[in-house]
């Protein structure tokens, strides 16, 4: 158990078969939410992301989050982090630090360029656009791409885009992990449909499947899992510069209060 200001959360053992699992001994990780602005604002968002969010992490604060000693990792998140006007600068700031071993970015993928012709995504032209989009992003940065029912409703070709992005990453040596978020008991048909799409598009081996937890905008969902932690060697940081240790719920509630 770990105590937070709002109670006690269970700590679950990491599933070492999951991609990017917080295995014992993993370096300290900064979970850095750089904005609360999002262009989707999923109804179950644990971060209370907003379509009209206006809080963006200041570049001046970036050095203050770096641990005093030891190797560390950084996961850039949001909101939708690619909406931050200085996303590349933030990414490169940490990527270039001699003690930073890994940089990851969580995204809904909507900012990635996909070229359509006659209603179909053109793979060749999309690849060329991706080359331009990623030209300043180091090849070893891992992208964690969200997949869920709400994103699918907004973008019916969500899984086709995911497959094309996987193909692009594999052809260029980049890294991608798909995070499939499922709803639980009363939505088993929806969850099964997502699993089927994942398999049909050949994404299973590069995906983690999670059930939504009961906090954030999803705090009243009876089907959601009780909030818990997987590992504790991390620091949560919000786009106003506030730090929350590993206090998952408190961090989420603080995000709700941001403009």
Number of domains in the chain: 1
pLDDT at 184: 80
CA quadruple 88, 45, 181, 20: dihedral positive or negative? positive
Portion of the chain with pLDDT greater than 90, in percent: 87
- CA dist 184 and 224 (Å) reads 6
pLDDT at 36: 99
Q: How many CB atoms lie within 10 A of CB 226?
A: 9
CB 83 within 8 A of CB 108: no
What pLDDT, in 10s, does the model give residues 87-100?
Answer: 999 999 999 999 99
**pLDDT for res 69:** 97
**Under a CB-based contact definition with an 8 Å cutoff, are residues 40 and 150 in contact?**
yes
Please give the pLDDT value at position 7. Answer: 52
131 has pLDDT over 80: yes
- By three-state DSSP, how is residue 119 classified? coil
Which pLDDT band, with edges at 50, 70 and 90, does 17 fall under?
confident
pLDDT tens digits, 168-199: 999 999 999 999 999 887 678 999 999 999 99
Q: CA 123, CA 242: separation in Å to the nearest integer?
A: 42
Q: Which domain holds residue 155?
A: 2-20+27-256
Q: Decide if pLDDT at 148 tops 80.
A: yes
pLDDT at 4 over 80: no
Q: Is 128 helix (H, G, I), strand (E, B) or coil?
A: helix
1-15, 126-140, 218-232: which is most confident: 126-140
Report how far residue 254's alpha carbon sits from residue 237's, in angstroms, rounded to the nearest whole number: 10
* Mean pLDDT, residues 140-148: 98
Judge if the upstream peptide bond of residue 79 is cis by omega within 30 degrees of 0.
yes
* Average model confidence (pLDDT) across the chain: 94
Domain harbouring 156, CATH code: 3.20.20
User: For residue 164, is pLDDT > 60?
Assistant: yes
Kindly report whether the global pTM for this prediction surpasses the value 0.75: yes
14 band by pLDDT with thresholds 50, 70 and 90: confident
Instruction: Inform me whether the pLDDT recorded for 34 exceeds 60.
Output: yes
């Amino acid at each position: 158990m770990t105590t937070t200001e709002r109670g006690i959360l269970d700590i679950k053992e990491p599933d070492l078969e999951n991609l990017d699992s917080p295995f014992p001994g993993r370096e300290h990780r900064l979970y850095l939410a750089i904005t609360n602005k999002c262009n989707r604002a999923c109804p179950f968002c644990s971060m209370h992301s907003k379509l009209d969010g206006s809080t963006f992490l200041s570049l001046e604060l970036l050095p203050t989050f770096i641990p005093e000693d030891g190797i560390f990792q950084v996961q850039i998140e949001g909101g939708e982090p690619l909406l931050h006007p200085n996303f590349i600068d933030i990414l490169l700031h940490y990527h270039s630090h001699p003690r930073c071993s890994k940089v990851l970015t969580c995204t809904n993928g909507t900012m990635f360029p996909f070229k359509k012709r006659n209603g179909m995504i053109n793979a060749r032209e999309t690849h060329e656009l991706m080359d331009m989009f990623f030209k300043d992003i180091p090849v070893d940065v891992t992208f964690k791409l969200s997949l869920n029912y709400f994103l699918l409703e907004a973008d019916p070709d969500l899984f086709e885009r995911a497959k094309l992005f996987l193909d692009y990453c594999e052809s260029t040596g980049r890294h991608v992990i798909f995070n499939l978020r499922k709803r639980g008991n009363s939505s088993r048909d929806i969850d099964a449909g997502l699993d089927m799409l994942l398999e049909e598009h050949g994404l299973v081996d590069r995906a983690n499947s999670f059930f939504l937890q009961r906090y954030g905008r999803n705090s009243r969902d009876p089907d959601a899992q009780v909030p818990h932690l997987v590992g504790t060697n991390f620091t949560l940081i919000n786009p106003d510069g506030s730090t929350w240790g590993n206090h998952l719920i408190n961090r989420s509630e603080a995000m709700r209060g941001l403009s």
